[in-house]
Structure 1
Amino acid sequence: MNHIKFVVAGALALLGVMVIGGYLADPAPQATDQESAAAAGGTLRIGVDGTEPAFFKVDGVTKGFDYEMALGVAEGMGAKPEFKVMPFSDLFTALEAGEIDMIGSQVTETAERKQDFDFTTPYFVTYLSFLTPEDSTINKRGDINGKNVAVVEGTIHERYLAEQYENVNVIKAKDEDGAVRAIASGKADAFFYDAPYTAPIIKRAPIALKESIVYPADDAPIGFVMQKDDPRKAQIDGILEQMILDGEWLKLKKAYFKEYPLSEVFKDKGA
């Protein structure tokens, strides 16, 4: 998945000491056999959930922000990318089982997830939104308190609801369409999801929906997810940092998320 940046020597010196929530890459360790094998060829298996604009197809051509970011990573490693599409809730199980090498589906880094997995340096920071029926009276964040809110099972949104809102009843759905069906059936008043991914959901929904609330989440970095202590992580961190510094990340961000302002996280990195 590929997507996004510029800097001068002075900024590079600042970048070396800057810590964005502990997300900058550690100094690269000595190359291991696994790293060397990846750099010499090999295959990098990336798990994705097939959600636009992260990973999707148009007239048989694969596109997507995360898709192009992953392509950039694989190219930097000298590895062949292999994408495996599955439901979001199955991605972590597949990673644990060794069926994929990393997850590239807009996964938010959390303390809970870091207990079991490693995250690369961030390649995106998301925006959150609530989808509601067009005639809904939900118009501001305070209106969410006391409501039934659908989330996709396995995503970070359930925890966000508990932390940021009061007396919310969480309705878990297998996927985005399941969350929309919960609204259509009256089980849910709203669907809490990442704003960059709501346009295709609204378009294919069987009922008229609107994006009632949108707000940034600069404290929610998104990175590729890997097994604990995978020696390739340091190499991937370096590649992502270079994609940011040389402007490739920014080009992809503008292509897929032009309506969203640049996060302070990436401004600090020289974007």
Structure 2
Amino acid sequence: MAIAEDLAAVAEVAADDRLSFCEGTTQMNKMISMFAAALFLLPATASKSRADALQDALSRGNLRVGVAAESLVPWLATDKTGARIGFEIDVATSVSDALGVPAEFVEVPYDDLPESLNAGKVDVVISGVTVTAERARDVFFSSPYATTDFTVVVDKTNLPAGAAEKGYDIKGMKIGVAWESLAEYAASTVFQAAEIVNFDNNGLLRDAFLDGTVQGLIAPTPYPTFIVSRDPDRYAMEPAPLLSTVQAMAVRPDSPRLLNFLNAWIVENKANGALGDMTAYWFKGSEWLDNLEGYDPGAEETGAGTDEKAQ
């Protein structure tokens, strides 16, 4: 009798456990279903806050391209009619043509371009922006599509004795750079004996080079080539740059489709030679110089009128 009662009690407990287990399983399944539904709905909910910039551009009917308001010759400049011209204008126009919508150029102070991009005021920044790890904290970069070299140019008629043999790093040698530029940084890492002379702008640097106050300068692509081509008997440039940087387009982190499109455009136009043709026109040729607003035939000798923030 006692055994029978014990068995009955065990059976009752087992039944209660099965019921409890089933109820727990049911609750767990409900929780899993709700969690799965939440995961499934998350992308759709997030997408309502801001669509990919590519879709925005197609829906709106134009691609808003952020460019520096400053003159960054030959990346960005103004012609005699007041229109913006330059390498980046050609690049952005080709990109927008490939997307099937016109480009709307939004001029923003160079330092404010990332803020305008992340605020959604522009879809993409195409403005001679150098790729750095620090900048990549705020934007997504495309593949590089341009390179800038910083190279030493000297006046051979105004050199201290033995300067060339010492790589121009000799006492009595003065090398001019634009203040707070990558040229200044490059000079500080290479030259120990030569004096590095800082100038507030490229116009003052140009004048100092032409009047012999400094015997050399460090200039970004394409100005060293321009300088030497004007008077190869007087000017010379080092065969290797002190510093090289790469430039890329920038998009918001929430625009992977536009980023993929830009990368595809870069690959395609490198392969078909179109990007190379644009680079050659703006960085190796000089036909465009006569179209510049306020063009001075001597200004390009040191890159006067450019702003090295773009580098």
TM-score bucket (shorter structure) = 0.5 to 0.7
Structure 1 residues 158 and 140: alpha-carbon distance in aligned structure 2, compared to 1, 3 A threshold: farther
- The answer to whether 1:65 aligns with 2:87 is yes
What's 2:175 paired with?
149
Cα deviation, 1:114-135, whole Å, max 9, x if unaligned, reads 4455432111223332234452
SS at match of 2:282: helix
Residues of 2 paired with 1:116 and 1:166: CA distance?
35
Contact in 2 for aligned 1:130/1:213 (Cα 8 Å) = yes
The gaps in structure 1 that reach 5 residues or longer are 1-29, 260-271
Q: TM-score, normalised by structure 1?
A: 0.61
Aligned amino acid, residue 235 of structure 2: K
**Aligned equivalent of 2:132, options 110, 121, 125:** 110
The answer to whether the 8 Å contact 2:131/2:141 transfers is: yes
Among candidates 128, 131, 143, match of residue 121 of structure 1? 143
Verify the 8 A CA contact 1:149 1:171 in the aligned structure 2.
Answer: yes
| CA–CA distance in structure 1, aligned partners of residues 165 and 260 of structure 2 | 41
Query: Which structure would you say has the larger Rg?
Result: 2
Instruction: State how far apart, in whole Å, the 2-side matches of 1:69 and 1:121 are.
Output: 14
Aligned pairs for 1:105-254 (under 5 A) are 105=128, 107-133=129-155, 135-137=157-159, 139=164, 142-144=167-169, 147-153=173-179, 155-166=181-192, 169-183=195-209, 188-198=214-224, 210-216=235-241, 220-224=245-249, 226=250, 229=253, 231=255, 232-254=258-280
- The count of residues paired between Structure 1 and Structure 2 equals 221
User: Which residue of 66, 69, 85 corresponds with 1:45?
Assistant: 66
CA contact (8 A) 2:74 2:86 kept: yes
Mapped contact 1:47–1:91 kept (Cα < 8 A): yes
Letter aligned with residue 150 of structure 2:
L
User: Identity of paired residues, percent?
Assistant: 16
- Structure 2 counterpart of 1:45, one-letter code: G
Asked whether the 8 Å contact 1:121–1:237 carries over to 2, the reply is: yes
**Equivalence for 2:76:** 55
Any conservation in 2 of the 1:161–1:168 contact (CA below 8 Å)? no
Letter in 2 for 1:93: D
SS in 1 for 2:54: helix
Give the letter aligned to residue 178 of structure 1.
Answer: L
On the 8 A contact 1:195/1:214 being kept in 2, the answer is no
Structure 2 residue runs of 5 or longer lacking an equivalent are 1-46, 286-311
Cα RMSD over matched residues?
A: 4.0
Equivalent position amino acid for 1:179 in 2: L
Cα distance per residue 1:36-80 (max 9 Å; x no partner) = 012342322222642433233555365432321122223334352
- Asked if the contact 1:130–1:212 (Cα under 8 Å) also holds between the matched residues in 2, the reply is yes
| Correspondence 1:3-42 to 2 at 5 A | 32-40=51-59, 41-42=61-62
Which letter maps to 1:104? Answer: S
Q: Give the structure, 1 or 2, with the largest relative contact order (CA under 8 Å, sep 6 or more).
A: 1
Which structure dedicates a bigger proportion of its chain to helix?
2
**CA spacing shift, 1:118–1:141, aligned 2, 3 Å:** farther
Asked if structure 1 preserves the Cα contact closer than 8 Å seen for 2:224 and 2:237, the reply is no
Q: Supply the distance in 1 between the matched residues of 2:145 and 2:208 (Cα, whole angstroms).
A: 32
The aligned residue for residue 27 of structure 1 is: none
Q: Indicate how the Cα distance of structure 1 residues 250 and 159 shifts in structure 2: closer, same or farther if over 3 A, else same.
A: same
For the structure 1 residues 97 and 172, does the alpha-carbon distance in structure 2 shift closer, same or farther, using more than 3 Å as the test? farther
| Deviation of the 1:109 alpha carbon | 2.6
Q: Which amino acid aligns with 2:202?
A: E
Q: CA deviation at 1:252?
A: 1.8
Residue type at the aligned position of 2:265: I
| Structure 1 residue 253, shift from structure 2 partner | 2.7
Q: Which amino acid letter does the alignment assign opposite residue 90 of structure 2?
A: E
